[in-house]
Amino acid sequence: MIKKLWIQNYALIDDLQINFHEGLTIITGETGAGKSILLGALGLILGGRLDTKAVLNAEKKCQVEALFDIERYGLKEFFEENDLDYDDNTLIRREITPNGKSRNFINDTPVSLNVLSSFTQNLVHLHQQFDTTNIGDRQMQLRMVDALAMQSKEVAEYSFSFKKYQKLKDSYKVLSQKYTSVNQESDYLKFQMQELSDASLQAGEEQSLSQEIRILENASTISLVSSSVGRMLTEEENNSLDQLRDLRQELHSIEKYDPKIESLIQRLENCQEELRDISSELIQISEKVEIDNEKLSKSKERLDQINNLLHKYKVFGSEDLISILSECEAKLASIDHSDLELEQMRLEIVESEKSLMLTAQAISHKRIQSVKGFKDKVEDLLHQLQMPDAKMEIEVQPRKELGPFGNDDIKFLFSANKGRALQPIKDVASGGELSRLSLCIESLVAHAIPLPTLIFDEIDSGVSGEVAWRMGSILKDMATDHQVIVITHSPQVSAKSTHHWHVKKISKDGNTHTGILELDLDAKIYQIATMLSSDPPSSSAIETAKGLINPN
């Protein structure tokens, strides 16, 4: 429970301290006096965002502290998990420095905002004005039903397992996509290997083919010219060999006069031998050269095939294509084609889903059982609050698939008037009806939840008189199990208080500040009488106030 709230330099508050107690604490005050500022400060303690504009004096530190008695609420494990010093009286502090830096503390140890809000959500439920619409929220309705079924812990454990299940499914999807990608890569490598293997490539083959094609395309010319030149060298009249022989003979006639002539004669003889060889090769070329259009066509097709592959793979020679083939073979050999991990993960998902389904069915059963008597109790309370024809139903319908909170969709249906069809709460209830319905539901749920402190901001909005009196009785009853703090404009609700605080504006040094005062019995009577009439209150209002406080 909250024991103390201390606020400094926040909004209209210069320095303010409130000591809270067990039971029903009422906070009253005129509109604009600063009740919402108190709620804002409490919201900061619960993890709300701290707006620098809310700082009263920008040159000073803004600070909000709350002291909680947590001895009975089993929170030591939280402190151990977050490496915090445990104390039965735990101090929460939020502050913003003049330079705009925000800091959060639990027992003077700096913590993140997430840690702070995770801690305080175990201690306080803040029901602000207009939060009555929350009872129309499906997820909130689900939480209420689970609180009634006393299975909030089981649902939290299920949700934790469901998150693991979802992560497992996500991992399976990623691995499956990876496996598909690997298979696609494998298929592509196989295709490349097949294509290049079928080509039966040889290094330098395109150069050989180009040469062969040139010969085949010019076979007639090659045959004619090589034959003609070969015969001109050795066979025709006055051929080159005969001329060289005649020249040799001429030189023999002067050989005896100059020793150098002998070597020249030998060289001419060598030339004769060389010409005979050249002539022989040319004649062989002319005889062997083929005029083969079919072979020419095939050679061109083969060269086109190789050139197409060179263009496709963006390389320059058949040697590069052969290297690509070798690389494909190596890559394919290195790819893990085993889908064992994928199959193991699939089986794990199946088992996890089975386990979740069994847990969800057990949760669903308890939900169905818990709502049977709950709606009757809500209707009874509504009848006490002058809604005699109010009807309520709670539908528990199975989902198409497992969700984060089980396998159910919860829907609260409501009708305030006779003859009206039951419809979702958010579609049919007026402001005053919502206030009464919200209080009835939360009063019943409150007995099932471990939260020590419940704070209500104008839960009695839109009601007065006898209805407000009975709502005050419900709040008083809730305060037997919880610390209940209520901000209200209702004199009937105020009369039910165990402790009564009054907020008012104070003028000091030309500035307006918010102040708060705990009322004794006489001051409480005076304040309630003022709420009933005016300030100063009439004597009849004072007597009425006394009657509200002590009805007997």
pLDDT tens, position by position, 266-319 = 998 999 899 989 989 998 988 888 888 888 899 999 999 999 999 999 999 999
State the pairing for strand pair 423-424/406-415: antiparallel
Contact residues for 247 (Cβ-Cβ < 8 A; gap 6+): 268
- In degrees, rounded to 5, the angle at the alpha carbon of residue 23 between the alpha carbons of residues 521 and 431 is 95
Looking at residue 546, what is its pLDDT?
92
Give tens-digit pLDDT for 59-74.
Answer: 788 899 999 999 888 8
Looking at residue 233, what is its pLDDT?
86
Q: Which residue has the tokens 């002319």?
A: 286
Q: What DSSP element (H or E) covers 216?
A: helix 205-217
Looking at residue 181, what is its pLDDT?
83
How far apart (Å, rounded) are the C-alpha atoms in residues 134 and 282?
106
> Can you give the C-alpha Rg of the chain in angstroms?
50
Overall pTM > 0.75? no
Looking at residue 134, what is its pLDDT?
64
Taking 70 as the pLDDT cut, the residues of the chain under it are 32-33, 128-134, 336-338, 429-431, 450, 552
How far apart (Å, rounded) are the C-alpha atoms in residues 1 and 253?
142
Looking at residue 237, what is its pLDDT?
80
How far apart (Å, rounded) are the C-alpha atoms in residues 27 and 544?
20
Looking at residue 534, what is its pLDDT?
86
Contact residues for 245 (Cβ-Cβ < 8 A; gap 6+): 272
Looking at residue 130, what is its pLDDT?
44
